Amino acid sequence: MVHKMGRGEGIGRLMTEGSKRMAEVLGKNAIEFAIHVKGLEPSAHDPRRFFSQAVSYATAARGACHNASWSHPYELALWMSEIGIPEPQDAYRVDGKAEFTAKLQDLMCVMDALILCRFSQVGKAVTVSNHVEWLNMVTGWGMDISEYMKVGERIFNLKRMYNTRLGASRKDDFLPSVS
């Protein structure tokens, strides 16, 4: 099948368009079995293991993108006191998960805008204070952490607004059925 996909032959051609598109073309009830969010198949970061990933997959502009919040490491070992995450979070806890996920979605949006690597957070090598300090050094601005995070929130909202313009809405903020 990989060779057929690579050469664009037969069913291989259809498979290259993703599980959602393939299910739509196959028809009948195939769409019920397509594992995707907004047309993007999830990575290895299972939302049944990391509840914040479930929230992120459903609300992210691209769908099931583990990089939209990159929250799974914060449910394993990381923390970022500067933005209100004082300790690693319980992956299976529901209370506070939406706020926790939103903070990380905002952080990842601004990190993406500045082309900062997510892995720099591991080992606390680089913090949000570093980001703000570097940004201020380069631009001459006097931004603080709160303003920095507000930029991330605005970017996240702009992505959602762009999706809305293209016809996406809250009806698309769902996870595939696991039954």
pLDDT of 148-171, one tens digit each?
999 999 999 999 999 999 999 999
Calpha distance 54→135 (Å, rounded): 31
pLDDT of residue 179 exceeding 70, the answer is no
pLDDT of residue 123 exceeding 90, the answer is no
Structure tokens at 140: 């001459």
Rg of the chain over all Cα atoms, to the nearest angstrom: 19
For residue 80, the cross-strand partners are: 85
Calpha distance 143→60 (Å, rounded): 26
pLDDT of residue 178 exceeding 80, the answer is no
Residue 55 banded pLDDT, cuts 50, 70, 90: very high
What structural domains and CATH numbers belong to the chain? 1-34 (no CATH), 42-172 (1.10.599.10)
How many H helices and E strands in the chain? 7, 0
3-state class (DSSP) for residue 37: strand
Which residue is associated with the tokens 């706020």?
99
* φ, ψ dihedrals at 85, nearest 5°: -120, 85
For the residues 45-68, what does the mean pLDDT come to? 94
Residue 80: CB atoms within 10 A of its CB come to 17
pTM tops 0.85, yes or no = yes
Contact 16, 8 (CB under 8 A): yes
Structure tokens at 8: 């664009």
What are the tens digits of pLDDT across the range 5-35? 999 999 999 999 999 999 999 999 999 999 9
For the residues 37-55, what does the mean pLDDT come to? 92
What are the tens digits of pLDDT across the range 70-79? 999 999 999 9
